[in-house]
């Protein structure tokens, strides 16, 4: 016991030194996609980077579990989608969309396990996933805070977190915007975050000028990735891909509202250059 | 002159507990408890408003993992340690059978691991209370079910210790314990996607370990209502029959085993 006590002091000192060395790495902003992909693809480049992105990813997965009170959902298999043999999850409160999702624990009707299935449905969280309600959003908000603290480059944490802040209370717009602005501070090259800021500013505040500024910044970021030859990589991230598309959409919508139809068509055509099959941009391009 | 099973078990249990204290195994639990206290203290610094679910989730995850690992490590070394230190010979020189010894060792492992789990769970409950996060009555059912699971797991590990080396035993036992949920999912998917017959599925389900069914922590974390008592009874029957079967299988090998 004495040895353990003596060991704690040097361990504490070493821990303090390590924390001081790690903090600059922890606060490093991903100014370039290169750094971003290195954190994601090469664990040995940054152990800290991998730890923080793994923690953020773990907390991201946990948000779904929290909102469903511990009930696990999974995507349907192709066979299940084709035959429709499972109960498809659906939300009664419009908090989440559950396209082609079902519960991990099967419902009694299609459970072949006799007593085992009944036991599992008792000892593990389980409910009928059709038209289910979700737990209060405020219970999951801390997770979004934690995951963005753990990994400030975790863009989807800021995006969805801001949505949840507003969903919890529609008067929390200032907090939602502050959360998004923190995200752009750490991710100045993100497309999706600027698009989201533009959307909130346009729809919630009605500030056309500011919204246009954000949306143009989102598009400039997209152009930056194209110029650096990394467009294909950024398009692999579904949030950034949709954010890029939505930036053009919202600009077209904004110009339409301002009745500047030439600019509306111009932005729509520019968007169609990267998203040629998008029906919204096609409509605004006419 | 033969000795009753009760006397053997009591004597072995006392000796085993004293040995555990001498080896300072439970000190591991105390150190983990201290770390939990320190971790909980940091939440007090930041305030816990809105973090109740997260704190409970982390606490019960820690309890589950630590108690499982502790159970496997304690149970896995009961017999091998006796053989290695050659203290098994004076034990067997007494008028006790190998079967009684096996059951006695299981009891030592169960009592020690169960005690460690209760200390961890009790500490977590107190810490949560101090943080203003009370637990619902389902927590009592969680404790009962988990203790059954620990007894079942001890039986499995003690039985495996007769067939495997300690390192292999620990590895396989941890895989069976932590992987039981995954095995069950794979069987179900095999039934739905590959047409595995329901009868075969239930056969395999009966054979596979179901340690995950002894864990109700998720229901405790999300404040679900207590479950029906027939479920606890059914799991108790499962733990008893399955655990006894494991011990019988272990005894079948142990009774003929040449020791040393």
pLDDT by residue (tens digit) across B145-157? Answer: 999 999 999 999 9
Please name the residues in contact with B116: beta carbons below 8 A apart, sequence gap of 6 or more. Answer: B25, B26, B28, B29, B67, B70, B71, B74
The pLDDT value given to residue A130? 77
The pLDDT value given to residue A31? 43
The pLDDT value given to residue A3? 65
Task: Give the residue-averaged pLDDT of B203-215.
Answer: 88
The pLDDT value given to residue B83? 84
Sign of the alpha-carbon torsion through B233, B237, B238, B239:
positive
pLDDT means over runs of 10, chain A (286 residues): 66 70 53 48 57 81 86 82 76 67 84 88 88 79 87 91 89 93 93 95 93 95 87 82 94 94 94 92 92
Distances (CA, A) of B62 to B36, B40, B68, B90, B117: 9, 12, 10, 39, 11
| A4, A19, A70, A114: best to mutate for the B interface, most B CBs within 10 A | A70
The pLDDT value given to residue B46? 60
Please name the residues in contact with A4: beta carbons below 8 A apart, sequence gap of 6 or more. Answer: B31
List, for residues B109-139, the tens digit of each pLDDT value.
999 999 999 988 998 899 888 888 899 999 9
pTM higher than 0.80: no
Give me the percent of chain B exceeding a pLDDT of 90.
46
B183 touches chain A (CB under 8 A): no
List, for residues B19-52, the tens digit of each pLDDT value.
777 776 667 777 777 777 677 666 666 665 667 8
| Residue numbers in A near B185 (CB within 8 A) | 104
B21 touches chain A (CB under 8 A): no
Q: Which two tokens stand for residue A200?
A: 């909130």
How many cross-chain Cβ pairs, A to B, lie less than 8 Å apart? 74
Q: Is the pLDDT assigned to residue B172 strictly greater than 90?
A: yes
The pLDDT value given to residue B260? 61
A50 touches chain B (CB under 8 A): no
The pLDDT value given to residue B44? 62
Contact call for A119 and B235, based on CB within 8 A? yes
Global ipTM:
0.85
Task: Give the residue-averaged pLDDT of B235-249.
Answer: 95
The pLDDT value given to residue A32? 42
Contact call for B192 and A69, based on CB within 8 A? no
The pLDDT value given to residue A94? 60
For residues B178 and B165, what is the distance between their CA atoms, to the nearest angstrom? 20
The pLDDT value given to residue A195? 96
| Residue numbers in B near A60 (CB within 8 A) | none
Q: What are phi and psi of B18, to 5 degrees?
A: -65, -40
List, for residues B75-100, the tens digit of each pLDDT value.
999 888 888 888 888 777 777 888 88
Contact call for B57 and A62, based on CB within 8 A? yes
For residues A34 and A62, what is the distance between their CA atoms, to the nearest angstrom? 28
The pLDDT value given to residue B220? 95
Q: How far, rounded to the nearest angstrom, does the alpha carbon of residue B49 sit from its chain's CA centroid?
A: 33
Contact call for A142 and B227, based on CB within 8 A? no
Helical ranges in A27-85 per DSSP H: 33-41, 47-67, 78-83
Nearest chain A residue to B233 by CA: give it: A119
The pLDDT value given to residue A34? 46
């Amino acid at each position: 016991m004495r040895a353990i006590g003596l060991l704690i002091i040097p361990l504490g000192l070493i821990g303090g030194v390590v924390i001081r060395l790690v903090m600059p790495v922890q606060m490093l902003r991903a100014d370039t996609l290169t750094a971003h992909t290195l954190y994601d693809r090469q664990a040995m480049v940054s152990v800290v980077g991998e730890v923080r992105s793994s923690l953020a990813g773990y907390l991201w997965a946990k948000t779904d579990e929290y909102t469903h009170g511990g009930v696990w959902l999974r995507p349907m298999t192709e066979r299940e989608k084709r035959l429709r043999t499972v109960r498809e999850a659906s939300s009664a409160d419009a908090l989440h969309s559950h396209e082609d999702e079902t519960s991990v624990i099967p419902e009694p009707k299609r459970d072949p396990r006799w007593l085992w299935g009944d036991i599992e449905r008792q000892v593990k969280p389980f409910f009928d996933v059709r038209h289910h309600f979700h737990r209060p959003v405020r219970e999951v908000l801390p997770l979004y805070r934690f995951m963005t603290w753990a990994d400030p480059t975790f863009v989807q944490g800021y995006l969805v977190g801001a949505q949840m802040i507003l969903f919890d209370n529609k008067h929390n717009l200032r907090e939602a915007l502050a959360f998004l602005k923190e995200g752009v501070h750490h991710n100045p090259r993100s497309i999706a975050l600027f698009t989201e800021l533009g959307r909130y500013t346009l729809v919630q505040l009605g500030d056309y000028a500011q919204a246009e500024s954000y949306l143009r910044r989102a598009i400039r970021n997209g152009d930056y990735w194209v110029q650096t030859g990394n467009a294909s990589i950024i398009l692999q991230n579904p949030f950034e891909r949709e954010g890029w598309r939505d930036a053009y959409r919202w600009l077209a919508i904004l110009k339409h509202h301002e009745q500047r139809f030439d600019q509306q068509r111009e932005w729509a055509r520019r968007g169609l250059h990267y998203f040629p099959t998008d029906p919204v941009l096609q409509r605004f391009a006419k | 002159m033969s000795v009753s099973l009760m006397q053997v078990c009591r004597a072995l249990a006392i000796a085993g507990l004293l040995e555990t204290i001498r080896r300072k195994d439970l000190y591991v639990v105390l150190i983990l408890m201290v770390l939990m206290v320190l971790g909980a203290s940091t939440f007090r610094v930041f305030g816990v408003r809105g973090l109740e679910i997260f704190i409970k989730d982390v606490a019960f995850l820690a309890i589950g993992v630590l108690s499982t690992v502790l159970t496997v490590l304690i149970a896995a070394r009961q017999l091998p340690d006796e053989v290695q230190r050659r203290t098994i010979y004076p034990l067997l020189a007494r008028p006790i059978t190998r079967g009684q010894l096996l059951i006695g060792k299981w009891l030592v492992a169960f009592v020690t691991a169960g005690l460690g789990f209760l200390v961890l769970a009790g500490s977590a409950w107190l810490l949560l209370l101090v943080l203003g996060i009370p637990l619902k009555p389902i927590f009592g059912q969680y404790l009962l079910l988990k203790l059954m699971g620990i007894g079942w797991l001890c039986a499995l590990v003690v039985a495996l210790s007769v067939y495997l080396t300690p390192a292999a035993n620990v590895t396989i036992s941890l895989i069976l314990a932590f992987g039981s949920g995954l095995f069950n999912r794979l069987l179900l998917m095999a039934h739905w996607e590959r047409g595995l017959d329901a009868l075969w599925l239930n056969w395999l389900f009966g054979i596979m370990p179901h340690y995950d069914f002894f864990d109700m922590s998720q229901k405790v974390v999300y404040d679900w209502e207590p479950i029906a008592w027939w479920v606890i009874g059914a799991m108790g029957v499962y733990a008893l029959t399955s655990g006894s079967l494991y011990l019988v299988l272990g005894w079948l090998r142990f009774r003929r085993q040449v020791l040393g």
